[in-house]
Amino acid sequence: MKTTRLSDPAVRAFVTALNSQDREAFLATLAPDATMADDGDDRDLDQWIDREIFSSHGHMEVDSESDGGRSLLARYRNDTWGEMRTRWRFTVDDAGRIARFETGQA
């Protein structure tokens, strides 16, 4: 699925920034107090973003979306783990920024 076709604007911006390795644009998609979880465990957002996305060249190929574009099934790859099938769920705040995202193997 092309990133430009993702339904939710906040999620579309998140995936676009992630795939272009644009840290500034990526951080702009997040609410100031955003949180996240990986495989059901809450993680330190800044450390996770650096380790799993930017220092390891993360990239997401979305296979499908549901829940108005706030749930994704995707193939995620980075230099550390290779490629894996993943699920992503996003909570978007009233300002249109991502307040929380949860990811893990699908």
Task: Look up the domain containing 55 and give its range.
Answer: 3-105
Task: Round to whole Å and give the CA distance between 49 and 14.
Answer: 12
Q: Using the 8-state DSSP alphabet, how is residue 29 labeled?
A: T
Task: Round to whole Å and give the CA distance between 77 and 90.
Answer: 19
Domain count of the chain?
Answer: 1
13-62 pLDDT per residue, tens = 999 999 999 999 999 999 999 999 999 999 999 999 999 999 999 999 99
Give the CATH number for residue 18: 3.10.450.50
55-98 pLDDT per residue, tens = 999 999 999 999 999 999 999 999 999 999 999 999 999 999 99
Q: 78, 61 in Cβ contact below 8 A?
A: no
pLDDT score for 64: 98
Q: How far is CA 16 from CA 24, 34, 75, in A?
A: 12, 18, 15
